[in-house]
Every structure is written in C-alpha cells, then in structure tokens.
Structure 1
C-alpha cells in the first residue's frame, strides 16, 4: 500500500467549512499529483419536508450544484490540477458520500469540512463528517476552520 493518494474526493456544499476542505484538498491533490473528485450531494430530504414538492426547488438545487462545482473546477484548474471530475448525486450527503460516491469513484481519500452543528443537533443526528468517518471505505480527513480550533 503506497503512501500517496491517487483519487481524492472532496465534499462541497457551499458552506465555509466545505470551502476550507476544498482548499486543503487542492494542496493534497497537487502534492500527490492525484485526481480530484468534486462531490456535491443534493439533499433530497429537504424537499420531502415541503408538501407540494415542485420542480422549481429541484431546479434551483441543480442550478446551485452546477454553479458551485463549476466554480470549484475553475479554481482547481487555475491551481494547476488537470485531472478533475464532478460528481453530483441526490440523497443524504452523509450516506451518499461514503457509501456510494467514494466507491463509484474508487476514492482513496475523502476530505470534508467539520460541519457546524450545535450540541443538541450533534447528539440527535451526528454530523455529516462523523457519519462519513464511520462508514467510509478509505481514509477521511476532516478539516476544521479557524473558528473551530
């Protein structure tokens, strides 16, 4: 087993935490001369909460996903990374990232932000990063923002 990573999956959702994770992913991808997979999961559970599930919500979610991943792709390209893949999926991010996307893209490292949940939320549902850490088939790096430190 080598000590370099070949396929690095970074979870991006538009949050400040994900922004930090992405910046760290860029550094690690370049250092390892690896492929980067920009993964965004459209959380369909938020749609279910709205009774009349209408297309405009999903259209907006898709437009957001597309803009977000495009922006990150441009940033990755500008930093000199050439092997970039975009992975957009639907469902629960904490399930999709470790159980589906990491396997589908054969990731050997998942990078995600430490999600900012309050204590009560963390007790009830656990953070996305905790779930990913528990069920990932590969190494996981949870990146903390400066405010977390």
Structure 2
C-alpha cells in the first residue's frame, strides 16, 4: 500500500542540503499531486545578540528571504507543481518547522535537509532536523543524498 501525501512542507535555509530537500519535495509534490508549502524560518534569537536592535536589519533579512523563496516558488511552478505557496515565519525554527506550521497547514509530510547552515546551534543545542524527526506528528523525509527522488 502506498501512502499519498496531500500537503508537503519543505524547510529551506539557503544551504546545499535545503536545496536538495527542495528538489525532492518538488518531485514528491508532483508524484502525489500535492500542495507544496515552502517554508523559511527567521530565527529571532539571532537578533537578541545585537546590542542596538535595528529594524532595518530585520527588514533586510526578510527581503532577502522573500527573494530566495520567490525563486524556489518559480522553480516549483516551472517544474510542474500545480499548487505551491511560500511563507516566512519568525521564531524558533525547531518548533515552527516541527509543529506550528504543519498544524496550521494540515501538513502530512515534512521534507528537510540532514543539516542546515547553523553549525553552532547544532553543536550547542542539537540540530533542527534531529528535533523535527523526533517530535513531528507527521512523516518526515530527511534528505542526505544527491538523488532527486
């Protein structure tokens, strides 16, 4: 028996692994005729260390993320994904990727890269991917290879 997915979420952060996860999510969305939710989370904790909080910095990070997400969206659309959306969320990536966003969007598959950009967080408090695979309520596909599905 083969599971059919209807709402696929892919978490992207600009890393090589996230790009691979995106490619696999596009292939899965096409195979399943599923909605593709492209998600980027801006970790608000990274702004706590800035002594003079600057709203322009947040706006710049958001603008950069929006441009990258638009590129992902355009790629998904040109690859034949019929229904895709992108979202920028602010907060703790682990909770948003594993719980908040999937619950809000009825996600039944999360696609995520094996590692992301933040090596310091991975060393100090554990990886986002590890947390998502351990705690998410839906299926999780962790992308490790260069195969596109």
TM-score (norm 1): 0.90
What is the 5 A alignment of 1:23-62? Answer: 23-62=23-62
Could you tell which deviates more after superposition, 68-77 or 93-102?
Answer: 93-102
1:129 — aligned with what? 129
Check whether the contact 2:112–2:143 (CA below 8 A) recurs between aligned residues: yes
In structure 1, distance between residues paired with 2:22 and 2:104: 20
SS of residue matched to 2:130: helix
What is the 5 A alignment of 1:82-121? Answer: 82-115=82-115
Check whether the contact 1:87–1:101 (CA below 8 A) recurs between aligned residues: no
**Cα-to-partner distance string for 1:2-39 (whole Å, 9 max, x where unaligned):** 71100000001111110000001011111111000001
**Cα-to-partner distance string for 1:84-141 (whole Å, 9 max, x where unaligned):** 11121101111111121011111000000011576x8645311110011122110001
Residues 44 and 84 of structure 1: is their aligned pair in 2 closer, same or farther, counting only changes over 3 Å? Answer: same
TM-score (norm 2): 0.90
1:3 — aligned with what? 3
| Structure 1 runs not aligned, ≥5 long | none
Q: CA RMSD in A?
A: 1.9
| Structure 2 runs not aligned, ≥5 long | none
2:71 — aligned with what? 71
In structure 1, distance between residues paired with 2:122 and 2:13: 19
